[in-house]
């Protein structure tokens, strides 16, 4: 049994080393690599490595099109290659790749003059996560209306699997939307903070900008607090908080699938 464990360990090390060699073009190809005929196979390995890196950088471009548009195609490719070399895939599903990309962008020294990029990347990642989330029927207005007015404050809500929320100290939502629609940054002040609600009530993902007080309201509802408590908290942060508008938005957006009276 110990011999089997030793072989398993060697196999794991070999896999890890092979993955490292594949993802980092700065590392020379393994010297002992040969073809079935016994000849050196450096060229085929280089081609294979290039295909792997190109595939992963292409996947990142598909996941983060706004970031690619903001940086330019060539600069994005260079950034993606560095990311690929440092952050190998951990899942066989390509759409799962890039969960740490926003944090990587945030810490990447050459991009420090564009601090909004990381949150734009976070929105793009959340967009994809919402797209692949499980299908559920959104909460209908008539279900909410079936409760007597005096019970509304005691309701709790179960979020749709696709529901995502994000706050940024930058205009990340506007920048995301503009660059998904090929409008660049015209008329946008990046320094103005924004919050967003991301949902997918049907087949299309919806990203909408919301007030920070509404973000606090929805965060609390998603966490399982009652409607009454969350409304009071949001109103304490913003006297102009519109509870009727917030409830209308949450129903219309499909961010919840069920509501029940708190026990």
pLDDT at 128: 96
Calpha distance 120→113 (Å, rounded)? 14
Percentage, residues of the chain above pLDDT 70: 80
Three-state secondary structure of 150-182: HHHHHEEEEECCCCEEEEECCCHHHHHHHHHCC
> Which domains are assigned to the chain?
1-114 (no CATH), 126-263 (3.90.930)
Instruction: Inform me whether the pLDDT recorded for 37 exceeds 60.
Output: no
Say what the pLDDT of residue 13 is: 34
| CB-based contact 163:256 (threshold 8 Å) | yes
**For the whole model, what pTM was predicted?**
0.81
State pLDDT tens for residues 128-142.
999 999 999 999 999
Tens digit of each residue's pLDDT (9 = 90 or more) over 191-244: 999 999 999 988 899 999 999 999 999 999 999 999 999 999 999 988 889 999
Digit-coded pLDDT (tens) for 140-161: 999 999 999 999 999 999 999 9
Tell me, what's the pLDDT at 178? 92
Between 185 and 15, the more confident residue is: 185
First to last CA, the chain: 54
- pLDDT at residue 45, as a whole number: 56
pLDDT reported for residue 38: 53
The number of beta carbons lying within 10 Å of the beta carbon of residue 31 is 8
Q: Which helix (H) or strand (E) holds 228?
A: helix 227-237
Provide φ and ψ at 154, rounded to 5°. Answer: -95, 5
What does the DSSP 8-state code read for residue 97? T
For residue 207, give the nearest of 244, 179, 232 by alpha carbon: 179
In the predicted model, is pLDDT for residue 188 greater than 60? yes
- Whether the predicted pLDDT of 258 surpasses 90: yes
Cβ–Cβ < 8 Å for 58, 77: no
Which pLDDT score is estimated for 21? 54
Q: With H, G, I as helix, E, B as strand and everything else as coil, classify residue 133.
A: coil
């Amino acid at each position: 049994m110990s011999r089997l464990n030793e072989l398993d360990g060697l196999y794991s090390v070999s896999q890890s080393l092979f993955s490292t060699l594949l993802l980092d073009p700065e590392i020379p190809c393994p010297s002992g690599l040969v073809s079935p005929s016994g000849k050196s196979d450096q060229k085929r390995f280089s081609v294979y490595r290039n295909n792997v890196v190109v595939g992963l950088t292409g996947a990142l471009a598909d996941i983060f099109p706004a970031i690619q548009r903001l940086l330019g195609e060539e600069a994005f490719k260079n950034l993606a290659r560095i990311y690929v070399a440092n952050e190998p895939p951990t899942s066989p599903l390509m759409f799962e790749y890039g969960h740490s990309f926003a944090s990587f962008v945030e810490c990447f020294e050459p991009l420090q003059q564009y601090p909004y990029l990381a949150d734009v990347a976070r929105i793009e990642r959340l967009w994809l996560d919402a797209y692949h989330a499980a299908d559920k029927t959104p909460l209908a207005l008539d279900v909410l209306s079936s409760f007597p007015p005096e019970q509304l404050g005691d309701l709790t809500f179960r979020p749709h699997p696709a529901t995502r929320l994000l706050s940024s100290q930058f205009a990340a939502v506007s920048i995301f939307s503009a660059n998904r629609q090929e409008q660049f940054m015209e008329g946008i002040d990046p320094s103005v903070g924004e919050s967003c609600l991301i949902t997918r009530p049907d087949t299309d993902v919806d990203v909408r900008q919301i007030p920070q007080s509404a973000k606090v309201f929805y965060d609390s509802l998603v966490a399982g607090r009652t409607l009454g408590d969350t409304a009071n908290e949001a109103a304490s942060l913003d006297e102009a908080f519109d509870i009727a508008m917030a409830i209308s938005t949450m129903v219309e957006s499909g961010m919840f699938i069920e509501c029940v009276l708190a026990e």
